[in-house]
Structure formats: structure tokens, C-alpha cells
């Protein structure tokens, strides 16, 4: 069964100027589509053809770097689109309490996300994640993912240059500030926190 490209869960103009429609056109319409297409081509006619994307990631990790990279990138981008929103209303309820307990305050969490994202060397991802009720910031390099890691990912920000270069050129901190302050989908984070297990790519 071929995997589908998840549609963007917002209008392509909704994140500007933090992330413009032009960036989304390339990032979603070309990069993400390409990763999905390569996974589908690799698993067609194999025993992985009937598996979930999470199962493909786990099967390929450590044994098939090409398939792993494309499957993990497919998952990470689906999760990233859902981590973004037209407006950021902030965390509430149990998630807000967990943030205060783990980071001291929401402001401190956002500051740490910016610092970790800016300091990350090269391509990768910066995550807000949960394990055993404790929240933490995690980083993965290149295509690596928290999908099969034992962490419950709550939010992710793409640190690859293709995520921000058209809009912010080399100023990754400007992209991070714009996204982290105004475009994070805290309702998605709260849903992930409440579920207590990793989101699944279902298309
Ligand atoms: Fe990306």
C-alpha cells in the first residue's frame, strides 16, 4: 500500500511571513513528496508494502540507510506540518502544568528551543518530547526521528536549510524566533501529550 503525501493542515499563505507559500510549495510539494515517492518505490512488491510507516522506519533503521532516511523524513515532515499553525494560542491544562514543572515556565522552554535549534550543527530536527511524564528538548541529526525512539514527540521544528532559506536566508535564528513565538500548534502538542504515545502517520 503506497503512502500518501499528507495535505498541509493550514492554508499555504497562513504562516507568512515566518514561512511563506513559496517555501511551502518547495518544502511540501517537492521535498516531502519526493521522500514519500522514494519510500513507495523502495517498498513496492516487498513484505514492507503492507506495513505502517512507523514499521517501515523501525525495520529499516540500522539495516537500510536509504529507505530509513526517506521513511524517517516522510514521517518527520508529516509531524512538522501538524506542529505548525496559523496562530499560536499557547499551551493550556495538563500540558501547561508539565511545561512549568519541566522547564520552570513557557518562556524558558521557548528560549531553550530557540537556543538548541540555533546551535544544532547542520541539518536535523529539534523536538519537544515527553517520556514518563517528563518533558525535554531533543535533537536528531539529518533524517533521524523520534518516531520509534521511546520518546513521545509533542512538537518538532525542521532545521534543514530548505525549511527557511527562501524566507530568512542564512538567519536560522530569525526563522526559529518567528516559528517558536507565533506558529507552533499547541493544540497538536496537547493532543500528543494526552495520548501518551507517538503520533502515527496515517495516509
Ligand atoms: Fe524539511
Tens-digit pLDDT profile for residues 142-177? 999 999 999 999 999 999 999 999 999 999 999 999
Q: How far is the CA of 22 from the centre of ligand 1 (A)?
A: 14
The grid cell for 2 is 503506497
What are the start-end ranges of the E strands in 63-181?
Answer: 124-131, 134-141, 152-158
* 8 Å CB contact between 69 and 142: yes
The predicted structure's pLDDT at residue 202: 87
* 8 Å CB contact between 60 and 71: yes
The grid cell for 124 is 536535523
Tens-digit pLDDT profile for residues 27-78? 999 999 999 999 999 999 999 999 999 999 999 999 999 999 999 999 999 9
What share of the chain has pLDDT > 70, as a percent?
100
Provide the residues around ligand 1 (an ion) whose CB is within 5 A. 158, 160
Q: How far is the CA of 126 from the centre of ligand 1 (A)?
A: 12
- Binned at pLDDT 50, 70 and 90, residue 6 comes out as very high
Q: How far is the CA of 199 from the centre of ligand 1 (A)?
A: 18
Q: How far is the CA of 27 from the centre of ligand 1 (A)?
A: 6
Nearest by Cα to 167 from 156, 154, 176: 176
* 8 Å CB contact between 136 and 152: no
Q: How far is the CA of 104 from the centre of ligand 1 (A)?
A: 30
The predicted structure's pLDDT at residue 43: 98
Q: How far is the CA of 156 from the centre of ligand 1 (A)?
A: 11
Q: How far is the CA of 142 from the centre of ligand 1 (A)?
A: 10
Q: How far is the CA of 155 from the centre of ligand 1 (A)?
A: 14
Q: How far is the CA of 91 from the centre of ligand 1 (A)?
A: 25
- Binned at pLDDT 50, 70 and 90, residue 203 comes out as low
* 8 Å CB contact between 195 and 27: no
What share of the chain has pLDDT > 90, as a percent?
97
Distance from C-alpha of 137 to C-alpha of 129, rounded to nearest angstrom: 6
pTM over 0.85: yes
Amino acid at each position: 500500500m503506497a503512502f500518501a503525501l499528507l495535505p498541509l493542515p493550514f492554508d499555504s499563505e497562513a504562516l507568512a511571513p515566518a514561512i511563506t507559500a513559496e517555501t511551502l510549495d518547495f518544502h511540501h510539494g517537492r521535498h516531502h513528496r519526493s521522500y514519500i515517492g522514494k519510500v513507495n518505490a523502495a517498498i513496492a512488491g516487498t513484505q514492507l508494502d503492507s506495513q505502517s510507516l512507523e514499521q517501515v522506519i523501525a525495520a529499516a533503521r540500522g539495516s537500510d540507510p536509504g529507505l530509513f532516511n526517506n521513511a524517517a523524513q516522510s514521517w518527520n515532515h508529516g509531524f512538522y506540518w501538524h506542529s505548525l499553525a496559523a496562530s499560536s494560542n499557547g499551551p493550556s491544562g495538563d500540558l501547561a502544568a508539565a511545561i512549568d514543572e519541566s522547564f520552570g515556565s513557557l518562556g524558558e522552554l521557548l528560549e531553550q528551543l530557540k537556543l538548541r535549534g540555533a546551535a544544532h550543527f547542520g541539518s536535523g530536527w529539534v523536538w519537544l518530547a515527553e517520556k514518563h511524564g517528563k518533558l525535554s528538548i531533543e535533537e536528531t541529526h539529518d533524517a533521524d526521528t523520534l518516531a520509534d525512539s521511546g520518546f513521545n514527540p509533542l512538537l518538532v521544528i525542521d532545521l534543514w536549510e530548505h525549511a527557511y532559506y527562501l524566507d530568512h536566508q542564512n538567519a536560522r535564528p530569525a526563522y526559529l524566533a518567528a516559528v517558536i513565538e507565533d506558529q507552533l500548534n499547541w493544540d497538536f502538542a496537547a493532543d500528543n501529550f494526552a495520548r501518551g504515545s507517538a503520533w502515527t502517520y496515517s495516509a
